[in-house]
Structure 1
Amino acid sequence: MPDNQNPNYEIKTIVEIFKQENLTIPEYQRPYKWTVKNTNQLIDDILLHQEKSKYRLGTMVVHNNNGELEIVDGQQRFITILLIAKVLSDSNFLDKDISYFLTHLKFSNTISHKNIARNYQAVISRASDIVNEKFAKFFSERCEMVQIILKSESEAFQFFDSQNARGKDLEPHDLLKAFHLREMNDSDSSEKIAVVSQWENIKSEDLAELFALYLYPIRQWSKRQSARYFSKSDIDIFKGINLKKSPAYPYAQILRMLESFTQHYKNSPDRLFDNQEVNFPFQLSQTMIDGRHFFDMVSYYQNSKNKLFNRLKENEQTNRIISTLDNQEYKYRTGDKYVRRLFDSAVFCYWDKFGLIEIEKAVKVIFLWAYQIRLTQQSVFIESIDNHARKDLMLFNKIYEATHPKEITQLLVNFKIESKAKNSESVINLAKEFQGIKNEK
C-alpha cells in the first residue's frame, strides 16, 4: 500500500492493551474456537519464558472505526489472554481493572459461549501455576503484543487476507468469508451477524467438501476448465459483482431484477397469511453476487446437496445405482473415490439445471459416463477425472449449455466394458444392464 497508508505498528504490553477501553470485537467476527489445548499451550509458553526480559505473545490487527478499535485478526488469542487476566484479577494479582471488557464484550454465538466457559475453567485449573506475583507481573508488564492499526475496514480485511493466505491455518472458504463480509460494509450489524451465524452453522469440513467437490469443480468443468484441487489461489472464481456498487452493466440487470422481485415477495404483507417462501434462484453457472448472496448461496447448496442425495435413495431406480456405489468395495480405493466424486458432482450439476425432472434417466447416463474410466483404466488418478470431465463427452459443459433434459438423458454412452479394476463386478453388471448387454452364464 502507499506510504501514506502504511499501517501503524505499536508494541504494547498486556496492561497497556487493557487500558484501551475502545478495543472491541465486532459481533460479525468468527466465533471463539480456541480449545483447552490451545489455552494450556499459551500458559505453558508464558511460564517457559518467565525469565526473559520480554516475551512477544503475537499480533493483533485492528480497524480504527470512528474511534473504536475493532479487532479484525487476533481475537482468539486476545480472548484467551483476557481469561487469564480475569483469573489473576479475581485473585488480586492484577492491578488493572478489566471489568470494562468483561461487561462490554458481547458474544452472541453459542459456540463462543461454550468455548469461553470451558477455557475459563481450564485457566482456573492452572491456578497453582499462574496465580502468584511473579507470573502476574511478567504477564501484565513484560508480555507484549504487536498491535497493527489500520485506517479503514477494507485495508484491515486486505491485510487479513494477505497474512492468512500465506499460512496453513485458514481454508480457502475462510478467506472467501472475509472477502464477502468486507463487501457488506454498508450492511448493519444485525445482517452481518445473521450471515455469519448461518455460515458457522455449517461445519468447516462440510464447507471444505462443498467447495472442493461440488461448487468449484462444477463451475470449472462447466466451462471446460481444470478443477483438480481447490486452493487459496482459486478463490476469485467465487468473487463477482456487488449489485449496490457496480455500474449498471446490462448483463447484471437480470440479477438486479431477480433480487428486487425476491425481496419484494419476501417483504409483502401477504406472507403473514400464506407463509410462502421464495429463495433467490441460484445457479452454479451464474455470475457470483458478492456480499450476503454469497452466504445465502452456500447455505442453499449445502442444504440442497444433502436433500438431493437422500431423495435419490428414496427412488427405486436411482437407489440401485447409489446403493451399489455405497458398497464397501467402492469406498476406500483412491481411484474409486475420484470416480465417485465425478459422479456426484455431475448429478448435482444436472439437478442444479433441471431439478428432479427426468433425474432417473440422467443418473443412468451420468453413471455410465463417470464409471467408464473406472471400467476401462487400470488406475484412476485426479488427473484422470479432470481430463474426463473436460474432454470425454464434455458432460458438464453439455449440461451447462442444455435447454432441455433430453439433451442429457438421450446421450449415448457406449464403451467396451473391460474388467480393468479388480472387485468391480457390481458396477460392471450394472453398466452392462444399462447398455443392454446380457451377462454370460
Structure 2
Amino acid sequence: MSNSMEESQKECQYKSESPHKLHQQIISVAKLLNEDSLTIPEYQRPYKWNQQNIASLFNDIKTQSDKPAYRLGTIVLHSSENDEGNIVLNIVDGQQRTLTLMLTVMAIIKYYNLDDSSQPESEQTIREVLGNLTQSVPKLAEHQKFASDISVYNLHTNFQEILRVISRGELSIDHIDFLLHKCQVVIFILEDESEAFQFFDSQNSRGKELYPHDLLKAFHLREFDTDDQELKAKTVAYWEKLDDDKLAKLFAHHLFRIKHWSQRKSARSFTKNHIDVFKGINLDKDHLPPYAQTLLITKHYIDQYNASSDRVIDKQIMPYPFQLDQTIVNGQRFFDMVQHYHTLIKQIKQAPVYDATLRKLKDTDCHAIMDTDSSCCSVVLSNHTLNTRASAIIHTLNTYSEGHRKGDKYSRNLFDNALIYYIDKFGTQDLSQAIEAIFIWAYSMRLTEYAVRLSTLDNTAKSYDGIFRIIQQSISAKEILVTNKLSINKTAVDKNNKPINEDADSASKHYKIYKLFKHLNYLV
C-alpha cells in the first residue's frame, strides 16, 4: 500500500465504514468512469478548469506514460439515495478532475466517431482501449445537471480544446490507454454527508497548505533518471535544509518573476497554477526534439567530465552552466538549479563591504552620498571588487533606514532580480556599470511615483523598454550599458519626496535614495 494511501486512511478514522466496494480502493480512471452512480451535487462549486489546467494534465500524462502507474489524486464521495431509492455517489472532492476525464472520453468518442456503429476497421484499437466507456460515459454525462452558466461555458470550451489536442495528434492511442488504465485515483466513500465534508476539509485545510514548490519537488523526484535512492537523497539535501518560507520566496520573489518579466509577462504572485513554468524536459525520453540536443550533450559531457578518474588528481569540478532563459531539465538538474540560484542570490544580498583598511563593515551607513566623502567603502560581489559608485549603491541599499517601507522593498526586488538576470547571462563583465544602470532604472520609479505598489513593480518590470527585455534580447553586456540612464527632474521628484525631518540640516534631512541619485548626478 502506498504512503499516500496510508496517510489518507489515517485522516479518516470514523466509527462507520462505508459498505461500498470502492471505499478506500485505488482504481483506474476507466473503473472510475464506469461507475454509473457518480453525480455532481447541486451544492458543488462551478466547474472552473481552463485550458492551462487541461494542458498541465495532458503534459503530466505524456511525461509519466513510461511508468507502471501514475496517481491523479483522491476522490471523496458521499453515498446517498435519490428519490427513486437508488444509490448515488455525490462527488464532494474531485469534481474538476472527474469532469475533465469525462470530457476527454467524450472527445475521443467524437473524434474517432465511435458512436457510429459502422466505424471502419482501423478504429478497432481505440474501441478496445475504451471498452465499456463508449456506452457508460455518454450516459454518465447525460444525467449530470449544471445550474451555473460558468460550468456550462467551461465544459463546452474545454471539450473543444481537448478535441483539438486529439486531432493534432498530441494525445496518442498509447497515451489514452495509459490515462484510462494506468492512471489511478484513491476513492473514499462516506455515508454521512457531514463526515464527507469533514474529511474533505481535513484533506485540504489541515496543517499548512502545500506550497507550489512542494508540488514541484514531487514532480521532479518522479522525473529522476535513476532509482538510486542515495543519489536522490544527496541531490535533494540542499533543498531539505531550506525552510519552506525561504523556498517560497526563492520561487515567488525571484525565479518566477525573472522568468516571466523577461518574457514581458505579469508575475505578481506565484501559485499552483504557475508550476508548469518550472517543468521542462526529461532528457532520458526517446525521440527528443532537435532543441533538446544541446541540453543532452551538455548534460552527458558534464556528468562524464566530473565522473572521470582525472578529477581525483586535479580536484576540478565543472558546474552545470545554468541559464534562467534555458529550458529546465527535469529531475536531478532541477534541484541543482535551485541550489545554484539560491547561492547566487545569497551572494548578491550578502556581498561583503570593506572600508579603506579592508575591515568589514556591517550596519554602518554609507557616507559616499555625503559631499564630504566620495568613497567610503568597497564592495566585493561574485568575487569582483566594484568601483566606488557601484559600491556606494550596494552599501546604501543594504543599510539605509527607509529600506523597510513597502515601496522600497518593491524597488529592491526589481533591482535584485535585474542584477541576478544580468549576472546569470553576462557574469561580472562591466558589473559596476551594470549595477549603476540597473539601480537608476529600478529606483527611478521610487522617486517619481507617489506610491509604489505591486502593480507598479509588475508594470515597470515587464515594460517594453525595461531592462529585463533588454537583457533577454542582448548578446553583449554593452547593449545594457548604453541604455538611456535618464536624469530625473528634481522639481518633480521633490513633490513626492518631502524631507524626513524639516528641522534637520540640509545634509541629513533628505531620503537616502534621493541623496544617492544626487551624488551620482542623476538629479537635474
Using the TM superposition, name which of 301-310 and 280-289 deviates more: 301-310
Q: 1:357 to 1:153 in 2, by over 3 A?
A: farther
TM-score (norm 1): 0.62
Q: 1:258 to 1:324 in 2, by over 3 A?
A: same
Paired position in structure 2 for 1:393: 465
Whole-angstrom CA distance in 2 between matches of 1:154 and 1:262? 35
Cα deviation for residue 288 of structure 1 reads 1.0
1:192 aligns with 2:232: yes
Amino acid at match of 2:463: K
Preserved CA contact (<8 Å) 2:447 2:497: yes
Paired position in structure 1 for 2:419: 347
1:84-111: CA deviation from partner (whole Å, max 9, x where unpaired): xxxxxxxxxxxxxxxxxxxxxxxxxxxx
Paired position in structure 2 for 1:38: none
Q: 1:73 to 1:390 in 2, by over 3 A?
A: closer
1:205-260: CA deviation from partner (whole Å, max 9, x where unpaired): 11111111111011001111111111111111101111111523111111011111
1:210 aligns with 2:250: yes
Preserved CA contact (<8 Å) 2:264 2:464: no
Structure 1 alignment gaps of length 5 or more: 1-22, 27-31, 33-41, 65-70, 75-149, 158-162
Q: Residues 7-46 of structure 1 correspond to what in structure 2 (within 5 A)? A: none
TM-score (norm 2): 0.53
Amino acid at match of 2:209: D
Q: Residues 269-308 of structure 1 correspond to what in structure 2 (within 5 A)? A: 269-308=309-348
Paired position in structure 1 for 2:369: none
Preserved CA contact (<8 Å) 1:224 1:397: yes
Amino acid at match of 1:193: A
Q: 1:174 to 1:152 in 2, by over 3 A?
A: farther
1:381 aligns with 2:478: no
Match of 1:369 among 421, 441, 448: 441
Amino acid at match of 1:377: E
Paired position in structure 1 for 2:515: 429
Amino acid at match of 2:472: Y
Whole-angstrom CA distance in 2 between matches of 1:353 and 1:236? 23
Paired position in structure 1 for 2:489: 416
Whole-angstrom CA distance in 1 between matches of 2:202 and 2:312? 45
Paired position in structure 1 for 2:290: 250
1:249-308: CA deviation from partner (whole Å, max 9, x where unpaired): 111111011111101110111100011011110000101111111111001111121123
Amino acid at match of 2:327: T
Paired position in structure 1 for 2:391: 319
DSSP 3-state at the match of 1:365: helix
Preserved CA contact (<8 Å) 1:180 1:291: yes
Whole-angstrom CA distance in 1 between matches of 2:402 and 2:287? 50
Cα deviation for residue 166 of structure 1 reads 6.0
Preserved CA contact (<8 Å) 1:216 1:227: yes
Amino acid at match of 1:227: A
Amino acid at match of 2:435: V
Count of residue pairs brought into register by the alignment: 311
Whole-angstrom CA distance in 1 between matches of 2:431 and 2:476? 12
Paired position in structure 2 for 1:3: none
Cα deviation for residue 331 of structure 1 reads 2.7
Q: 1:428 to 1:171 in 2, by over 3 A?
A: same
Preserved CA contact (<8 Å) 1:379 1:421: no
Larger Rg: 2
Cα deviation for residue 188 of structure 1 reads 2.3
Q: 1:375 to 1:252 in 2, by over 3 A?
A: same
Paired position in structure 2 for 1:118: none
Cα deviation for residue 333 of structure 1 reads 1.5
Amino acid at match of 2:330: D
Amino acid at match of 2:427: G
The structure with more helix, counted as a fraction of residues? 1
Whole-angstrom CA distance in 2 between matches of 1:194 and 1:350? 30
Whole-angstrom CA distance in 2 between matches of 1:194 and 1:152? 34
Preserved CA contact (<8 Å) 1:226 1:386: yes
Amino acid at match of 2:402: Y
Cα deviation for residue 364 of structure 1 reads 0.6
Cα deviation for residue 156 of structure 1 reads 7.3
Preserved CA contact (<8 Å) 2:415 2:438: yes
Amino acid at match of 2:415: F
Preserved CA contact (<8 Å) 1:221 1:397: yes
Cα deviation for residue 322 of structure 1 reads 2.2
Whole-angstrom CA distance in 2 between matches of 1:191 and 1:152? 31
Q: 1:433 to 1:156 in 2, by over 3 A?
A: farther
What percent of counterpart residues are identical? Answer: 35
Using the TM superposition, name which of 334-343 and 308-317 deviates more: 308-317
Whole-angstrom CA distance in 2 between matches of 1:279 and 1:61? 46
Preserved CA contact (<8 Å) 1:221 1:390: yes
Paired position in structure 1 for 2:269: 229
Q: Residues 47-86 of structure 1 correspond to what in structure 2 (within 5 A)? A: 53=15
Structure 2 alignment gaps of length 5 or more: 29-70, 75-178, 187-200, 354-378, 381-387, 501-509
Preserved CA contact (<8 Å) 1:284 1:352: yes
- Aligned alpha-carbon RMSD (Å): 3.8
Preserved CA contact (<8 Å) 1:224 1:394: no
Q: 1:340 to 1:156 in 2, by over 3 A?
A: farther
Q: 1:253 to 1:407 in 2, by over 3 A?
A: same
1:132-190: CA deviation from partner (whole Å, max 9, x where unpaired): xxxxxxxxxxxxxxxxxx99997579xxxxx9996561111111111111212643222
DSSP 3-state at the match of 1:175: helix
Cα deviation for residue 329 of structure 1 reads 3.0
Higher relative contact order (CA 8 A, sep 6+): 1
1:356 aligns with 2:418: no
